[in-house]
């Protein structure tokens, strides 16, 4: 372990990259597949279209593309990375871990590399893991990937879920940053009493995949209950992370929320008095991309000019598990 005096004061994002598939699935497309309407989807969720990975492509290809961009932006090469955290609940395979596939393909030297499954909270959990590893001197530069291809486990006959999900990936390199910048406060939590409110009942070791349980491999969700959970934890998660950072809500420039439902985001905006300029909303273009949602939000914020050096932002996510987390950082 390095001496305390050499441990980094401030840890944050050195580079960000994203990748989404080109194929677009619109609400009009879905109207032809299930009993739904563009009007219902937009008014109940805010989603207009989502990206769907092409057949035959592996989700890790998106993760790798995003990672190359994050490295390039950080001005680093694969040999500078000493830890890989690949956040996903849709890995390429149950085994090997996607982190290993990515590490091998990118030529990252042998290192700590693992998959982290916290569903839609995955990226926040991964970022917080990375922060702890760098802050404690265990790692120097951590590649955190959030990549999910929900479409591979979506039942396109189930209108309750198929309109919601999209595919994508994002990645950041986490390392030492200029003092006062980077991650300022974290909050994370799990409530396993709601573990089965979003689930895939087969494909795991309890119900191994078989010809009889194909339908059970799809994502199923009790939407109303998850909605209540999300609205309930959103505010306290933000407040706890701000408390750890020693900041007040008035000092926040930008909210980067998990994009699950526009109404959940709007309820948080109302609670905190945020105006649309201070919030990232890209659910219309991408839908719910699970672990990719937060990095895609950061990317959108940057494109919109909302995220520049020094911007104080709160990232907040919630999802299956049930899990939730928030991170405050100065960009």
The residue from 108, 143, 171, 226 that contacts ligand UT7 (CB under 6 A) is: 226
114 binds ligand UT7 (CB under 6 A): no
Q: Which residues of 145-179 are buried (b: 16+ CB within 10 A; e: fewer)?
A: bbbbbbbbbbbeeebebbbbbbbbbbbbbbbbbee
Count of C-beta atoms within a 10 Å radius of residue 227: 16
Find the shortest distance in angstroms from Cβ 138 to ligand UT7: 30
Residue whose CB is less far from ligand UT7, 47 or 313: 47
48 counts as binding ligand UT7 under rule CB under 6 A: no
User: Which of 27, 186, 261, 288 is flagged as catalytic?
Assistant: 288
Contact pattern for ligand UT7 over residues 257 through 276, marking x by CB under 6 A: ---xx---------------
| Active site (annotated) includes residue 258 | yes
Catalytic pick from 87, 150, 258, 282?
258
Does 120 contact ligand UT7 by CB under 6 A? yes
> Of 87, 120, 187, 313, which is the active-site residue?
120
Give catalytic status of residue 199 as yes or no: no
Residue 40 within binding range of ligand UT7, rule CB under 6 A: yes
**319 interacts with ligand UT7 by CB under 6 A:** yes
- If one asks whether residue 159 binds ligand UT7 (CB under 6 A), the answer comes out as yes
Residue 100 annotated among the catalytic residues of the structure = no
Active centre residues (catalytic): 120, 258, 288
Q: Name the site residues for ligand UT7 (rule: CB under 6 A).
A: 36, 40-41, 44-45, 120, 159-160, 163, 223-224, 226-227, 230, 260-261, 288, 319
């Amino acid at each position: 372990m390095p001496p305390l005096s050499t441990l980094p004061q401030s840890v944050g994002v050195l580079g960000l990259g994203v990748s989404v598939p080109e194929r677009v699935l619109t609400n009009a497309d879905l109207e032809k597949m299930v009993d739904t309407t563009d009007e219902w989807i937009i008014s109940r969720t805010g989603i207009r279209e989502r990206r769907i990975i092409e057949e035959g492509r592996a989700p890790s290809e998106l993760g790798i593309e995003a990672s190359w961009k994050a490295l390039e932006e950080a001005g680093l090469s694969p040999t500078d990375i000493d830890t890989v955290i690949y956040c996903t609940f849709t890995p390429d395979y149950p085994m090997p871990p996607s982190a290993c596939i990515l590490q091998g393909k990118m030529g990252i030297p042998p290192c700590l590399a693992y998959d982290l499954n916290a569903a839609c909270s995955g990226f926040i959990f991964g970022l917080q893991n990375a922060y702890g590893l760098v802050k404690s001197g265990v790692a120097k530069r951590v590649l955190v990937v959030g990549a999910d291809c929900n479409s591979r486990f979506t039942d396109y006959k189930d209108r309750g879920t198929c309109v919601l999900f999209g595919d994508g990936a994002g990645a950041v390199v986490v390392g030492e940053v200029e003092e006062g910048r980077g991650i300022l406060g974290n909050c994370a939590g799990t409530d396993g009493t709601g573990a089965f409110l979003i689930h895939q009942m087969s494909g795991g070791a309890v119900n191994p995949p078989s010809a009889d349980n194909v339908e059970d491999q799809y994502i199923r969700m009790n939407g109303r209950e998850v909605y209540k959970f999300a609205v309930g934890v959103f505010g306290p998660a933000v407040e706890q992370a701000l408390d750890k950072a020693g900041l007040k809500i008035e000092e926040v420039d930008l909210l980067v929320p998990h994009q699950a439902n526009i109404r959940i985001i709007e309820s948080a905006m109302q609670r905190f008095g945020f105006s649309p300029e201070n919030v990232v909303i890209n659910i219309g273009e991408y839908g719910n991309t699970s672990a990719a949602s937060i990095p895609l939000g950061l990317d959108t914020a940057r494109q919109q000019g909302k995220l520049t050096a020094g911007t104080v932002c709160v990232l907040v996510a919630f999802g299956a598990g049930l899990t939730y987390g928030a991170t405050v950082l100065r960009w």
